[in-house]
Structure 1
Amino acid sequence: MPWRFGSSAYKRMASKDLTPVISNGVPVHISNGTTHENMNPSWRRSFPHICVAIISSFLFGYHMGVVNEPLEYISIDLGFRGNILAEGLVVSICLGGAFIGCMFSGWIADGVGRRRAFQLSAFPMVLGPPISAISTTLGGMLFGRFLVGIGMGLGPPIASLYVAEISPSFVRGTYGSFIQLATCLGIIGALLIGIPVKSVPGWWRVCFWASTLPAILLAVLMQFCAESPLWLYKRGKVEEAEVEFERLLGVNHVKSALADLTRSDRGDASENVKYSDLFYGHHFRVVFIGSMLYAFQQLSGINAVFFFSSTIFRSAGVPPAIANICVGITNLLGSIAAMILMDRLGRKLLLLGSFIGMAFAMIFQASASKFDGKMDAYFSVGGMLMFVLSFALGAGPVPGLLLAEIFPNKIRAKAMAVCMCVHWVVNFCVGLFFLELLDKLGSMYLYTIFSSLCLLAALFVKRNVVETKGKSLQEIEISLLQYE
């Protein structure tokens, strides 16, 4: 019998064998009248499955940062040094691949299940890096980066889906923050492994080879993970959903979990939802909210900060290497804080505080141009680090988790794909026009625009986002029916 994460050491009990009793006025299921569990299922059952799933987020972060330090040496070895267009393509072509991968993520996740979708997302991340590593031409490098981008586009929406669907409600926010935390670790990992590139000829090839191991681990370990019970139920595989609920929540919580699913199922869970159905009728509101959250996330200027931090710090007299380390550590610390606060303060409050903090940080950035010497550097560096910290506390981790929570089960995968496509389009546009706008408008006016967009985002969150802390996905879906 193959080993499986969270497999039971005892025979699975049928739901009818679970007897409800009253404890402090609240029904609690016991097994055979002897075993008593707390109202909340153990987080330990789902934890290994979460750890495997966020490998995809680690890979996402790693490939976002892997060419940051080695780009100059790649251009020398492959013969395109000084070609700004070629250097830009090496950095950004993965965004095009990510957009394509993202477009198909909903179909794949709904068609073959979350586990198989993870494995499919790992495949281009296993194949692409070696192609880039052994390439001797610009074309080979770009082809490898494009393949990696497809995996990057598939991974994030599937990770958000899977983590939200298998997590117990009382730790779903914490587990959702693991996605952003893993992304930060991936970025830092790419920066660290790129350090020897200045002293070791051809080290940039090692940087690409190194990412194949976690991709292989994702594909292999996901074979032993649980499938999403919600996806199984949606496909009419109720008995298999019951088995996976037991693995993830424990035998005493199976009956209540299935009851929640049945209560939220209004008889149309098996309906074949088309992408066009998401843009009108009762689905449009939640898809609009999700798309706007991702649009505001990117219009805040965060990826301009990540992509061009070295340029901004250099203009303030700070060495780029130190700048990248400071940004990475700040992002990591903010992600850890978000992990702690997500299930305590709630999603909406973190989003509000995050966008407001980012707005004030951009005002600091804009004010830097009014000073000379050290004050300019203090305001520029301080404002950027405050901006990254504020982003990591809410605007970074919350949207992916929140949207997977508010989308009904039958549209969740496709709706996530649509919203992530908006993310990639806006991301690409900001990266494409940032330096040109910075040159034509100046830092003060451009950062003021970013600050205004952050305040507009906070207002949007205040008016449209619902709090989901501590609620099951089925409770959230039922509570949103009033808007249909």
Structure 2
Amino acid sequence: MRVISGALLYIRDDFKSVDRKTLLQESIVSMAVAGAIIGAAIGGWMNDRFGRRTSILVADFLFFVGAVIMAAAPNPGALITGRVFVGLGVGMASMTSPLYISEASPAKIRGALVSTNGFLITSGQFLSYLINLAFTRAPGTWRWMLGVAGIPALLQFILMLLLPESPRWLYRKGREEEAQAILRKVYPAHEVETEIRDLKESVDKEIEEEGSSEKINLVKLLKTRTVFQQFVGINTVMYYSPTIVQLSGFASNRTALLLSLVTSGLNAAGSIVSIYFIDRTGRKKLLVISLSGVILSLGVLSAVFHETTSHSPMVSAVETKFGWLALVGLALYIIFFSPGMGTAPWIVNSEIYPLRFRGVCGGIAATANWISNLIVAQSFLSLTQAIGTSWTFLIFGVISVAALLFVLIFVPETKGLPIEEIEKMLELRALHFKFWEKRSLPDKSQSV
């Protein structure tokens, strides 16, 4: 998705209509996000109807087709069509992959495995910047930049054919023997029977409550928090980091791009931290630490840009000083955001819904996430022009405070719990202030 930031420079050279019309440039960039919104919505229904594995296979196919269309695009219209296909695949995969991993993983390492998915995404974003640099001198430049993305999609499609369906989805669909066979391969022998029993109890209870299904759907959906993930400003930093760097006083395009590469690298490194801590520290505690750091760093950025605008005319020494402080604020933001807010919302989102609604609710949450992504990405430059960069970051800071309060009050700690037990816990408790309490997994009578 983010390869387009560099590819667009060369697309403008090949298609003069794109160079002349800002609307075409915006369409080429934003149609992938629009496709992701639709893909996430369709993916939710498809997950519950046809299964997690099938949904990922469809997502890979759509992404591959989109990459081929973009690489061969004879005109801007075809390029936009390819971007829509890529967006559909990305949106569908964004909610299906964490769900599939979560349902097929042992409870003790579920968080780490879903975090690994986040690491691979952030690593891919980092590689996208390197791909831009690698193909700048190749014939066809942007066609290679956009087309090469089809290779990992094709590879994943082939590998997914070798993997089983989610055992929980299979059990829900009445394919109990297949589900149990997969669970016996995934779980240690002494845990298998307990896992099967909990899954059976969960499915039986859902069948009994079928009549109140819509109410349960809405109640569970209110506990999602992936929207906050976008509105604390992450895609402002990721999409516009070169612009922010230049706003802070570093005018060189090359310097801005190189510093943005560092920002992307920090994002990937933070995902590694999440893999290590998510199943040790817990989801909620990591989210609280992450949001506290995000609030601090946004405060730094707001203060720095307030000072830069109050020094006019700005002398070189002052400009350099505030420029480096802005970079420190950006780095702190990524360092705190990535390990917690970058991955934990997707983990919690894949754990908290009833089995029969896990695909639909996950799809709704992912759709809301992509819509908020689009709003933040499209509004940042307008906000900075209307109210200034300092006030823009301050707004993100206030939203981050609201997100922190939401986490403290509503988000449960799900570390180490079987998915079926998480559902039982949510039925018993509405508020979740005490996230530091420890519990023993074998004791089924207690709740976090």
Distance 1:454 1:199 in 2: 42
TM-score of the aligned structures, taking structure 2 as reference length: 0.89
Q: Does 1:165 align with 2:165?
A: no
Q: Is the 8 A contact 1:234 1:270 kept in 2?
A: no
Q: Is the 8 A contact 1:347 1:402 kept in 2?
A: yes
- Give the counterpart of 1:310 among 242, 245, 265: 242
Q: Say which SS state the counterpart of residue 4 (structure 2) adopts.
A: coil
TM-superposed CA distance for 1:232, in Å, is 0.6
Q: Does 1:421 align with 2:359?
A: no
Distance 1:110 1:271 in 2: 17
Alignment of structure 1 residues 7-86 onto 2, 5 Å: 64-79=1-16, 80-86=18-24
- Give the counterpart of 1:433 among 375, 379, 385: 379
- Give the counterpart of 1:228 among 149, 166, 175: 166
Q: Say which SS state the counterpart of residue 416 (structure 1) adopts.
A: helix
Distance 2:279 2:408 in 1: 19
TM-superposed CA distance for 1:268, in Å, is 2.8
The number of residues matched between the two structures is 415
Q: What letter is aligned with 2:85?
A: L
TM-superposed CA distance for 1:213, in Å, is 1.6
Other-structure match for 2:231: 299
- Give the counterpart of 1:471 among 390, 407, 417: 417
- Give the counterpart of 1:283 among 210, 217, 224: 217
Distance 1:258 1:236 in 2: 13
Distance 2:249 2:142 in 1: 27
Q: Does 1:339 align with 2:275?
A: yes
Q: Given the superposition, is the C-alpha separation of residues 367 and 267 from structure 1 closer, same or farther in structure 2, using an over 3 Å criterion?
A: closer
Q: Is the 8 A contact 1:269 1:409 kept in 2?
A: no
Q: What letter is aligned with 1:113?
A: G
TM-superposed CA distance for 1:70, in Å, is 1.9
Q: Alignment identity in percent?
A: 29
Other-structure match for 1:53: none
Q: Is the 8 A contact 2:123 2:265 kept in 1?
A: no
Other-structure match for 2:177: 239
Alignment of structure 1 residues 39-438 onto 2, 5 Å: 64-79=1-16, 80-269=18-207, 278=214, 281-290=215-224, 293-318=225-250, 319-369=255-305, 370-371=307-308, 372-438=318-384
Q: Deviations over 1:229-259 (max 9, x none)?
A: 1001100111111111122224443322111
Q: Is the 8 A contact 2:284 2:407 kept in 1?
A: yes
Other-structure match for 1:42: none
Distance 2:289 2:354 in 1: 27
Other-structure match for 2:442: none
TM-superposed CA distance for 1:328, in Å, is 1.2
Distance 2:82 2:173 in 1: 35
Q: What letter is aligned with 2:6?
A: E
Q: Is the 8 A contact 1:196 1:203 kept in 2?
A: no
TM-score of the aligned structures, taking structure 1 as reference length: 0.83
Q: What letter is aligned with 2:50?
A: V
Q: Given the superposition, is the C-alpha separation of residues 227 and 89 from structure 1 closer, same or farther in structure 2, using an over 3 Å criterion?
A: same
Q: Given the superposition, is the C-alpha separation of residues 282 and 114 from structure 1 closer, same or farther in structure 2, using an over 3 Å criterion?
A: closer
Q: Deviations over 1:335-358 (max 9, x none)?
A: 111111101110001111111111
Q: What letter is aligned with 1:70?
A: A
Q: Given the superposition, is the C-alpha separation of residues 223 and 272 from structure 1 closer, same or farther in structure 2, using an over 3 Å criterion?
A: farther
Q: Is the 8 A contact 2:217 2:361 kept in 1?
A: no
In the alignment, structure 2 segments of 5+ residues that lack a partner are 309-317, 431-448
Distance 1:381 1:438 in 2: 18
Q: Is the 8 A contact 2:103 2:166 kept in 1?
A: yes
TM-superposed CA distance for 1:271, in Å, is 7.4
What CA RMSD, in Å, does the superposition of the two structures yield over aligned residues? 1.8
Q: Say which SS state the counterpart of residue 153 (structure 1) adopts.
A: helix
Q: What letter is aligned with 1:378?
A: W
Q: What letter is aligned with 1:163?
A: I
Distance 1:156 1:378 in 2: 34
Q: Is the 8 A contact 1:226 1:247 kept in 2?
A: no
Q: Is the 8 A contact 1:271 1:410 kept in 2?
A: no
Q: Is the 8 A contact 2:7 2:146 kept in 1?
A: no
Distance 1:265 1:483 in 2: 21
- Give the counterpart of 1:461 among 407, 426, 433: 407
Q: Say which SS state the counterpart of residue 60 (structure 2) adopts.
A: helix
Q: Deviations over 1:109-146 (max 9, x none)?
A: 11211111111111111111111111121101100011
Q: Deviations over 1:2-51 (max 9, x none)?
A: xxxxxxxxxxxxxxxxxxxxxxxxxxxxxxxxxxxxxxxxxxxxxxxxxx
Q: Deviations over 1:86-120 (max 9, x none)?
A: 21211111011111111111221112111111111
Q: What letter is aligned with 1:330?
A: L
Q: Is the 8 A contact 1:177 1:338 kept in 2?
A: yes
Q: Say which SS state the counterpart of residue 289 (structure 1) adopts.
A: coil
